[in-house]
Amino acid sequence: MGFYGSEPFETATAVLIAPPQVDIPVGVHGTIVVTVKGCAPKFTGGIQLVQNTAKAGLTIDVMGWTGPLGQGCGEYKVSHSFPATGNNNTVTIVGSNKTETIHVKHVPQEQADTAVKTAFAA
């Protein structure tokens, strides 16, 4: 039987995509796309990035389903977008192996398509 919990990660990146200059909701300053890569234990699936609203700032937990336990690990890459509100200079990523605060790269609207395609490419 599998269990849901924190998963290890190796690298993480975050980009802030500026919103278009029309129809901007109040308090939203764009979209932050977070991408995490790592090697999760064998038989892990459903890895996702979950915002931890109990922590200050934008804190993201790397979560997934593991089981039954096997030897070795499998490479993964997962991306998710979050609304940017307030101070968007850093994002904290929490995995089973480490907690890392990363700087957010600001991407102008003209480069948004390329940034999103890169983040969500396999």
Over residues 104-111, the mean pLDDT reads: 86
21 pLDDT above the threshold of 70: no
Going by C-alpha positions, the residue among 12, 7, 79, 93 that lies closest to residue 43 is 7
**Number of structural domains found in the chain:** 1
**Burial of residue 58, with CB atoms counted within 10 A of its CB: 0-12 exposed, 13-18 middle, 19 or more buried:** buried
Return the higher-pLDDT residue of 9 and 112: 9
Return the higher-pLDDT residue of 88 and 106: 106
Residue 22, pLDDT score: 64
120 pLDDT above the threshold of 80: yes
Return the higher-pLDDT residue of 111 and 9: 9
Show the domain range for 22. 3-120
Average pLDDT over the chain reads 89
Two tokens, residue 66: 């593991």
Going by C-alpha positions, the residue among 82, 120, 117, 110 that lies closest to residue 18 is 110
